[in-house]
Amino acid sequence: MRGKRAKRRTQKIDGKYGNPIIARLINKVMQDGKKTVAEELVYSAIESGAENVKEKDVNLFINKAIDNVRPSLEIKARRVGGANYQVPMPVSPRRQETLAVRWIIDVCRKKSGKSFDRVLMGELVSAYNGEGDALKKKLDTERMAEANKAFAHFRW
């Protein structure tokens, strides 16, 4: 039996734009507790990305980029009668945002050759335009959930 549910903490917002998605992006980029370095990287990436797509508002740019990568369905493994089934599940809005941010940062970490802020800017611009590796990950996840729709009755 599990204990009590964890209390939901209030979501932090970033200091420059007042956007909680940017704050989560900064926290995901941060390594070894170096938040100022992460802030510089993220701010330069989103500002140059917004400039690149000729978007005046940085908040609109980042929100559209994250919205394009948000998955609506995911699969979870369920063990029923000794067999494991990949059961498609709807994704809560909070988890959609978490997955989108995670996928974008993971894709950027795998690429090398350029500085991280340039790679992040490129991935955010491609997500904004509806392309890129993070969007491919979303489409693969949703396609897999669609393929396993036959096991949806195992959802509980």
Q: Is the pTM of this model over 0.85?
A: yes
**pLDDT in the model for residue 112:** 85
**pLDDT in the model for residue 156:** 60
The CATH superfamily holding the domain 20-154 is Ribosomal protein S7/S5 (1.10.455.10)
**pLDDT in the model for residue 12:** 87
Q: Tell which phi-psi region holds residue 54, choosing left (phi > 0), alpha (psi between -120 and 50) or beta.
A: left
Q: Which amino acid is at 97?
A: E
Q: What angle do CA 128, 144, 101 make, to 5 degrees?
A: 35
In the three-class reduction of DSSP (H, G, I as helix; E, B as strand; rest coil), residue 84 is classed as strand
Q: Which amino acid is at 78?
A: R
Which residues of the chain are modeled with pLDDT < 50? Answer: none
What's the rounded Cα separation, in Å, for the pair 125 and 119? 10
**pLDDT in the model for residue 80:** 84
Domain boundaries, the chain: 20-154
H-helix segments, the chain: 20-29, 35-52, 58-69, 93-110, 116-128, 133-147
